[in-house]
């Protein structure tokens, strides 16, 4: 009997993180971490969950776009989608009237991510595997067919991608065994938000050290003198051998080469969240060279490919790299960043790109250009998503996690039954539950409490008044 998609639900879910300064940076000062969430239902009981991360107002707009896209799925057999997920991705992007309001960027692309991710979640659940396992078990031919290739074949053809994947086949099982044993390396952002006091930053940094982390990121961009002071404070903690009772890493080890690691092997990164013009970025970051950052993340507008290339050239003498990708609209922006050698680190986002199929295209391009992939995960649900993507990259595509680190932010994981977890080495544990799919299912109680505007939290918070969130 054929299964059919019968209906879907969308939810505008907002968490009041602005009250505690979580997520605050130079550009985004009042973030309420939010989720434009979709669940797709079938007549067989099979379901799929997907979401796109937002930061408050405007989540309802994304939900409206999700409804327009998800409506196209109703009445279809999900197995027809699973047969060729690359073709399914092309079809999702092919509604000409919806495409017109992108194309392949902005709100419509965010909505496409939620829907495509929900289909991948359903696919993994249908096969009884976590998403990463579903994909690494694919043949090279199946994985190529699951990937979005339109507009990137001048840099990566399907034939090249197939050859790359076949070349990595031999060691896949050994890599799978290793990463499931030791976990995937991570860095922490939670200690470095701009909205935190010095005391809170120091406390969280020490707690992160005790949890096994040795890569740390701080937000910068509002005041050079204050950023330098805060950076020195963090450096004084992470570079002090006394804060490593169990020993520390050799700064000359291969995974730390070129990262400006301090005497304990600790690495500091900085993130400006797009706040500067190109000349400002160069001058400002040069002024922070004393705290030895590995890279500056999002130094300027995310669409300014040549601007990033100019910043990278100017900062090279200081030993500071450039990272971006959190707000890169699509695979074409990444293609150009690679082509003009604009970045040292590729930072994909699991729902800024339009779902798994487009992410695969960027992972393949990054592997071809030899650029490490360190995904963005500073938002609700993103850590749950991106551990799958990093494991896919390591096992099936790049074959390396030596220099890669995956962002971790310690916020809101309690709302997910299949939440991400960390081990004592400061690494992500690899998802292992065969029922969890893409790990983005949210508790119904959390949706009921934080759905905007009528969830129980928001009704109680406004006391009958309309809030601006």
390: Cβ contacts below 8 Å, ≥ 6 apart? 184, 373, 375, 401, 404, 406, 428
Among candidate residues 335, 376, 388, 411, the one labeled active-site is: 376
Nearest to 359 by CA among 116, 96, 83, 78: 116
Question: How many Å is the maximal CA-CA distance in the chain?
Answer: 67
Among candidate residues 168, 219, 308, 415, the one labeled active-site is: 219
Q: CA-CA distance, 80 to 88, in Å (whole number)?
A: 9
Q: Provide the 10 A C-beta neighbour count for residue 444.
A: 10
**Residue 376 catalytic?**
yes
65: Cβ contacts below 8 Å, ≥ 6 apart? 98, 107, 108, 110, 111
430: Cβ contacts below 8 Å, ≥ 6 apart? 132, 179, 180, 183, 184, 387, 391
> What's the distance, Cα to Cα, between the start and end of the chain in Å?
46
**Residue 219 catalytic?**
yes
Place of tokens 């979580």: 22
Tokens of 354: 């339009």
Q: CA-CA distance, 384 to 50, in Å (whole number)?
A: 11
Active site positions, annotated: 219, 376
């Amino acid at each position: 009997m054929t299964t059919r998609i019968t209906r879907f639900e969308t939810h505008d879910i907002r968490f009041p993180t602005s009250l505690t300064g979580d997520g605050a940076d130079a550009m985004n000062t009042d973030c309420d971490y939010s989720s434009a969430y979709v669940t797709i239902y079938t007549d067989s009981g099979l379901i799929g969950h997907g979401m796109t991360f937002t930061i408050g107002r405007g989540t309802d707009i994304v939900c409206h776009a999700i409804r327009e896209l998800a409506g196209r799925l109703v009445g279809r057999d999900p197995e027809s989608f699973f047969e060729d997920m690359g073709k399914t991705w092309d079809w999702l992007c092919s509604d000409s009237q919806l495409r017109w309001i992108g194309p392949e960027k902005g709100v419509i692309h965010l909505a496409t991510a939620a829907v495509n991710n929900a289909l991948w979640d359903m696919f993994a659940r249908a096969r009884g595997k976590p998403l990463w396992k579903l994909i690494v078990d694919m043949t090279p031919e199946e994985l190529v067919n699951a990937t979005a290739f339109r507009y990137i074949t001048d840099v990566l053809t399907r034939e090249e991608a197939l050859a790359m994947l076949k070349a990595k086949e031999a060691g896949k099982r050994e890599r799978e065994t290793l990463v499931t044993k030791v976990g995937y390396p991570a860095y922490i952002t939670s200690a470095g938000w701009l909205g935190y006091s010095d005391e809170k930053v120091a406390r969280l940094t020490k707690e992160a050290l005790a949890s096994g982390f040795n890569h740390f990121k701080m937000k910068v961009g509002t005041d050079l003198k204050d950023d330098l002071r805060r950076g020195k404070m963090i450096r004084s903690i992470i570079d002090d051998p006394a804060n490593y009772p169990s020993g520390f890493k050799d700064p000359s080890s291969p995974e730390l080469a070129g990262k400006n690691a301090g005497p304990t092997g600790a690495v500091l990164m900085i993130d400006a969240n797009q706040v500067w013009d190109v000349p400002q970025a160069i001058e400002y970051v040069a002024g922070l060279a004393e705290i030895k950052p590995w890279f500056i993340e999002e130094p300027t507008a995310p669409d300014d490919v040549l601007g990033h290339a100019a910043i990278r050239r100017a900062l090279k003498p200081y030993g500071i790299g450039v990272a971006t990708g959190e707000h890169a609209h699509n695979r074409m922006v990444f293609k150009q960043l690679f082509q003009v050698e604009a970045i040292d680190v590729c930072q994909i986002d699991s729902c800024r790109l339009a779902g798994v199929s487009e992410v695969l295209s960027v992972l393949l391009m990054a592997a071809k250009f030899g650029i490490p992939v360190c995904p963005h995960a500073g938002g609700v649900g993103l850590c749950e998503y991106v551990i799958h993507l990093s494991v896919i990259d390591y096992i099936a595509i790049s074959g390396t996690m030596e220099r890669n680190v995956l962002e971790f932010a310690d916020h809101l994981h309690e709302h997910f039954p299949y939440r991400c977890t960390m081990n004592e080495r400061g690494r992500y544990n690899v998802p292992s539950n065969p029922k969890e799919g893409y790990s983005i299912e949210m508790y119904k109680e959390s949706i009921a409490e934080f759905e905007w505007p009528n969830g129980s939290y928001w009704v109680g918070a406004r006391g009958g008044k309309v809030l601006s969130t």
